[in-house]
Every structure is written in C-alpha cells, then in structure tokens.
Amino acid sequence: MGIQWYPGHMNKARRELASAMPSIDVVVEVLDARLPHSSENPLIASIRKDKPCLRILNKSDLADPAITSLWISKMTSEPGMAAVALSMKQPGGAKAVPSLCKKLAPHRGTVLKPLRILIAGIPNVGKSTLINVLSGKKAAKVADEAAVTKMQQQFEIEKGVLLIDTPGITWPKFENEICGYNLAATGAIGKNAMDPAEVAKFAAGYVLLNYPDLLRERYGLATLPQEGIELVEQIGRRRGCLKPGGSVDMEKAAGIFLTELRGGKIGRISLEKPESI
C-alpha cells in the first residue's frame, strides 16, 4: 500500500518556508523520537542548506531510551548540528531550547540583532506544543491530529529571541514505503491516507520482532504468533472485536493496537534504529 498525503495548504507552506529561510539564524526541526529518520522531512533539509540546526527528538517518553541515545550521538556528530531528546509532557526541558540555539548562532540574540529561530517539522510531532511552552501561553493551536497549523506565525519568547512557527509539511511522495508506514503508525499521516489494518499489520510485525516481551505483558500472550496480522487478530479476539459468526473485525482490532502503540500503552517503543537506515 502506497501512502501519499500532501494537502494543498502544504504546497503553500513549502513556498513560505523557502522565502523565510534567508532571514533565519537557526532552524529547530522537531522530530518524533520513535522514528527520527522517517519524521525528518528532506524538503526541510534542502531548504535549510547550511543553516545551523537543532533537532528536537520529541515524545521521547514514548521511545526506547537506549535507541534515542544512539540517535542523539549520530546527529550531534554532524557539523552545525545539535540534538536533544524532549517530552512536552515534561515542559521544563524545553526551556533550554533558546540557549541551545544561541550556542549555534552566538552572534545573535540581542535587541539590535535578534535571534530568529524557525520551528519546522512534519505534522503532529509537537511543534505547536513547543511554541506554547516557550512562549508561556497558548499561542499556537494544538491538536492530536495531523495538519492543524495552516499559516506561519511569529512570537517573541524573550528579548532578542523571535520564534517562527510554520505549518507541518510532508513531502509529495514517500520514496521509502517503510517511512510511510512508520509515519502512519504514529499518526503523522492523515487518516484518509491510510488503511489502518495494513498499517497495524506492518507495525505489529516490527514490534513482534523487536519488543516481544512488551507484547506478552500487555496482552497476556504466553505464545506470540509469527506474523503481524496474526498478532492483530489475537488482540482483536482478546478485546472482543468480533463480527457475527465469530470472525475478527480487523479494522477495530487494528484501531485498538495503533491507539495503544501511539499512546505508549504497550511500552516505550522506537520504530527504527540508526544502524537500520
């Protein structure tokens, strides 16, 4: 199944991002800590070029901490790049973002030479929540769904520091199908662009291979199946997702699995590792 999702406003957002970039000092790219590679938009990298960049691995409370540490090490080895793992459920950590950006652009940050920080990233990775934490108010609209912010917004978060929020943009075509499935599994892709049963089957297969103990504990399974689709079916039977005649309603079962995966109910799970890229 190919996953394509590029709403019309995102094309406009891409143009606005490109036009704003010359005046930006530091780009803060918000990634999903569970899938830093899949949630990295290559369009942002091509528009950013050699601008200093701080990558925030958000939702780190949902990700495997050992895998997150590996990602941080990999990213910080790149020139002009810093990286930090954060969770907006613990907003205190986000207060360090301005100082981290000042280190990347030490010549900026005064009233006469304000530090202009651009917040970028794909939909539903927590950009608007970060804006609200840094500004200390509900300056940006937040929702647990893709594509909420639809226009560029600017905020002064402290004297000499300006924050520019942009709509989340995906790229027109996912060349790597695995990236598309990963994004869909975490809810970064709009619901109308995905088949929940196919996405759940893919994600369940990965979790079976990499986190079997978490599955046993969460679903009380003494013996795990070999395939993702079989796992989704077993979960459906245990949760009573049955049709007349006793067959499993796979769409409902998939919805349960994906909801619990996204909410961290199964455990702290990373969907990709640096060495697998």
| Percent over 90 (pLDDT), the chain | 58
CATH class for the region spanning 8-165: alpha beta
Task: Specify the pLDDT at position 150.
Answer: 42
Backbone dihedral angles phi then psi of residue 214, each to the nearest 5 degrees? -65, -40
More confident residue, 115 or 135: 115
pLDDT at 140 over 90: no
Annotated domain spans of the chain: 8-165, 195-276
Which CATH number, 1.10.1580.10, 1.10.3210.10, 2.60.40.1260, 3.90.1150.10, labels domain 195-276?
1.10.1580.10
Cα–Cα distance list, 118 to 97, 127, 211 (Å): 12, 10, 36
Angstrom distance (rounded) from CA 163 to CA 128: 11
Prediction pTM value: 0.86
Q: How are strands ordered across the β-sheet holding 81-85?
A: 81-85, 53-58, 26-32, 115-120, 161-165, 153-158
Residue 183's Cβ-side half-sphere holds a number of Cα atoms within 13 Å equal to: 33
Each residue's pLDDT tens digit, 248-267: 999 999 999 999 999 999 99
Task: Specify the pLDDT at position 146.
Answer: 41
More confident residue, 239 or 6: 239
